[in-house]
Chains A and B, each alone.
Chain A
Amino acid sequence: GAGVSQSPSNKVTEKGKDVELRCDPISGHTALYWYRQSLGQGLEFLIYFQGNSAPDKSGLPSDRFSAERTGGSVSTLTIQRTQQEDSAVYLCASSLGGDINEQFFGPGTRLTVL
């Protein structure tokens, strides 16, 4: 079946502009996570969704970052007034939840802020 998909695959933007990143999880997966991977670094947790609600937003770096999920499916991560330090690969993952823990990752969106 289809895996987790993300769009766009690459995004180049100018400092100060807003960007929206999209994640389509695997159908039926109730849990959705966003992570950020800076060049040569590990993955940094940003936010977790269970259904449409986000019980854990503790990883969002600043109030310029926000995310939503609608219909228990698609999620968008929005970064307002982008800064150069926002440049990274943004990865989305989904899992069935409950006792099924494996997180399936999408291919990521590479964001470059000039």
Chain B
Amino acid sequence: GENVEQHPSTLSVQEGDSAVIKCTYSDSASNYFPWYKQELGKRPQLIIDIRSNVGEKKDQRIAVTLNKTAKHFSLHITETQPEDSAVYFCAATPLSGGYNKLIFGAGTRLAVHP
């Protein structure tokens, strides 16, 4: 089955700096890669996702890149703000008939210091 590894487990940056979180996956059949943000005590919320027919996707200050050959994908946050502080989870799944059992990484705790 799929296995997702996520690094680093914690990340501390100064406001305005960039943050990069990396994930690797094992199942070459995986073709959908979402990123979720979870603030303390809150539910996970999707912030961006990418499918394997796309190498990069950007949404304002957030971008995700995917390298299918190497089986890794990364989240990039530019111009970080204190409100970006949260735990970020990557996930992978092989989409099949609308069924996407997400396999999550262990999470990265991002702290943005003013």
Whether the Cβ atoms of A107 and B44 lie closer than 8 Å is no
Complex alpha-carbon distance, A61 and B106, angstroms = 18
Given A101-B49, A102-B49, also A43-B102 (CB < 8 A)? yes
Q: How many residues of chain A are within 8 Å of chain B by beta carbon?
A: 31
Shortest distance from the beta carbon of B32 to any chain A beta carbon, whole Å? 6
Whether the Cβ atoms of A99 and B102 lie closer than 8 Å is no
B45 at the interface (CB under 8 A from A): yes
Shortest distance from the beta carbon of A29 to any chain B beta carbon, whole Å? 11
Chain A: which residue is nearest B46 at the CB level?
Answer: A102
Query: Which A residues are in CB contact (< 8 Å) with B103?
Result: 45
Whether the Cβ atoms of A45 and B102 lie closer than 8 Å is yes
Complex alpha-carbon distance, A5 and B100, angstroms = 20
Residues in chain A within 8 A of chain B (CB atoms): 4, 30-31, 33, 35, 40-45, 48, 50, 55-56, 59, 91, 95-108
Residues in chain B within 8 A of chain A (CB atoms): 6, 32, 34, 36, 42-46, 49, 89, 91, 95, 98-107
